[in-house]
Amino acid sequence: MSTLQHALLHPLTTLYTLLQYLLTALLHPLTTFYTLLQHLLTTLFAPPPVRTPPPPPTGPRVAIIGAGITGISAAAHCVSHNSDVLIFDSAPTIGGIWARVNGTSSLQIHSIMYRFHPSITFQNAYPKRTEILEQLEALWRRYRLEEKTVLEMKVVSIERTETGKWRVNGIPEWEFDGVVAAVGTCGEPMLPMLPGVEGQWRFQGQMVHSSELEGVEMEGRKVVVLGGGASAVEALECALNRGAESVSLLSRSDKWIIPRNPLIDIILSLNPFGSELYISYIPEFLRRRLFLYRSLSPLAPHTTGLWESTPIVNSDLLSNIRSGRARWLRADILNIEEYGVRYSHRSPGVPKGGPGVEKFADADIIVFATGFKRPSLSFLPEDCFEEGYEPPNWYLQTFPPGAVDICACNCTYVNAIGTVGHLHVGVYTRLLLMFLNDPLTAPPAEAMRSWVKWTKWLKAKSPTGAFDFFTYGELCLWFLECVVVNPFRWKWAFFVFTGRGMPMGIVRKEREIIEGDSSRIIGNSELRECVSWSVLTVKSF
């Protein structure tokens, strides 16, 4: 039954529903606007769900290594553009890192910057783990990926066959035209090698990793958090929410803190140079002295710029420190003892391992917010790790030189201001599909190396490596440059950036011209030779 038929048959129900929508819009205008914005983005950019029964795929076959946010999103893009996929993951469920963290874990950035596929719609600005997994599973089912997923299957090797395809784990039935490596950056929990940890039974309290806080009773207890990243701040908030008597965060590194304001975060991420600039000291000074830190300016980094490492996105942390509910200490851990942590407290500007004052933090619970081990990319062929061109020093930071049919999306990330789950997942996937469907668009290995060298030269004065830090503005410029530099990619531009209008008809005509199989298109052999020479010239870019 259509919506119109339902409205005609049930006018009172329809009227009641409309009144509910109007009341919600009046009482919650920002929420209503956000919901409408997401629906607009879905309408404009989301590929249609896969039909039942699904049509037979006509495009390349792609292996997706990883069933997390990136892997499921990339697979959905592939199947919606007539490609076949098979998703592999060593875990028993989909979800990646989100399936393994605490139920209290939530996004630190606004969810408008975490729309990992155009068809998802978040109900909250900062959704928790449950809502993120619900959206991911809905996406997985919407594009009928259940039958295309192999769980509890660890990928240990990807080898090039004589026919140029990629064979997974040496199994002939698992041969693919392309590969999306989507193992991410967070694997198993990582515990540091700290003094006292090897004899942890001396500590009389509870020791736990930040990803294992479910059921940990913290009310009235003294909590010490070891770490200085997003998971450390999340553990600090968790302890405060559970009524901890005191919370001390001991951080070795300095991290910038920026507010949970999507407009500010987006503006910061649009720096087109992707690194610290000569004038960066102005916004950093204003943020340190006037707008955010103010009396807590000693906590702001003094030797690291805002565009050098991934900042912490949180609006309540500094308020909790000002109120005395929490402490943030710049510290090197000296020892874990029976009743707490001994540390060296450093002054602003003193680097890690530098001189400090020895102090002691009482603890009933020690939370190791020390992050996760980075998943290995060792299943990729050895020639993907060519000296001088190891990840993240790859073409567009994602394609290994010489293997343009491998896309390691969100695997080579080090530091950035942007997001790990926005429009770039779709763009990277569609670039891979462009290269696979249209060989005239695929850059040769030397051109990919040249791009890496060129980008390193442009960022030679950056305080970090060229690909160790980037911004979303810089990433978008990379995409634009990739499409513009090769005329054979121009016809793909609309598809790459919007997901619409796959130009396969033009590609087939081009193949007929280049291969010289259609005299009705080009009957002049000299002209055909001229076209072939032009193709070789353009492909060098």
Same domain (yes/no): 251, 197: yes
With tokens 């000002």, the residue in question is 322
For residue 51, name the pLDDT band (cuts at 50, 70, 90): confident
Provide the pLDDT for residue 541.
54
Q: Which residues have a Cβ under 8 Å from the Cβ of 207 and sit 6 or more positions away?
A: 200, 365, 366, 368
Task: From 323, 352, 373, give the residue that closes a domain.
Answer: 373
CA atoms within 13 A on the CB side of 522: 18
Work out how many domains the chain is built from and give that number: 4
Beta strands in 141-288 (DSSP E): 149-150, 158-160, 166-168, 175-176, 178-181, 206-209, 222-226, 246-251, 257-258
CA atoms within 13 A on the CB side of 403: 27
Confidence of residue 202 (pLDDT cuts 50, 70, 90): confident
Q: Do both 386 and 366 map to the same domain?
A: no
The answer as to whether 45 is a domain residue is no
Instruction: Name beta bridge partners: 251.
Output: 330
Query: 464 is in which domain, residue-wise?
Result: 59-187+375-498
Question: What's the pLDDT score for residue 417?
Answer: 92
* Same domain, residue pair 348 and 210: yes
**Is residue 50 included in any domain, yes or no?**
no
DSSP 89-126: -SSSSS-GGGGTS-TT-B-SS-GGG--SSTT---SSSS
pLDDT confidence of 282, banded at 50, 70, 90?
confident
> Are 224 and 358 part of one and the same domain?
yes
- Identify whether residues 194 and 179 lie together within a single domain: no
Q: How many CB atoms lie within 10 A of CB 356?
A: 16
Residues 124 and 136 in one domain: yes
Residues 257 and 296 sit within 8 Å (Cβ to Cβ): no
Question: Is position 457 within any domain?
Answer: yes
Rg, Å, the chain Cα set = 26
Is the bond preceding 53 in cis, omega lying within 30 degrees of 0? yes
Residues of the chain above pLDDT 90, percent: 65
- Residue 205 falls inside a structural domain: yes
- Judged against a pLDDT cut of 70, whether residue 481 lies above it is answered with yes
**52: in domain:** no
387 and 331, same structural domain? no
Which one has a higher pLDDT value, 192 or 46? Answer: 46
What is the CATH classification number for the domain harbouring 110? 3.50.50.60
| pLDDT per position as a tens digit, 387-434 | 999 999 999 999 999 999 999 999 999 999 987 677 899 999 999 999
Check: CB of residue 435 under 8 Å from CB of residue 486. Answer: no
Q: In sequence order, what are the residues at sequence separation of 6 or more whose Cβ sits closer than 8 angstroms to the Cβ of residue 527?
A: none
* pLDDT score of 177: 98
Which of 323, 355, 373 is where one domain is finished? 373
Same structural domain, 364 and 386: no
d(CA 225, CA 208): 10
State whether 322 and 367 are in the same domain. yes
Average pLDDT over residues 212-226: 95
pLDDT above 70 for 326 = yes
* Of 349, 373, 397, the domain-final residue: 373
Q: Which of 517, 500, 499 is nearest to 508 (CA)?
A: 517
Domain for residue 43, yes or no?
no
Domain annotation covers residue 46? no
CA distance linking residue 285 with residue 281, whole number of Å: 6
Confidence of residue 130 (pLDDT cuts 50, 70, 90): very high
| Total-model pTM | 0.89
Structure tokens at 197: 């940890």
159 and 245 in a single domain? The answer is no
- Record the tokens describing residue 201, joined without a space: 């039974």
- Do 128 and 218 lie in one domain? The reply is no
pLDDT category, 531, cuts 50, 70, 90? very low
- The confidence score (pLDDT) of residue 444 equals 95
Q: Quote the pLDDT of residue 1.
A: 46
> Is residue 49 one of the residues assigned to a domain?
no
Query: Domain check: are 175 and 281 in the same one?
Result: no
Predicted confidence at residue 162, as pLDDT, reads 95
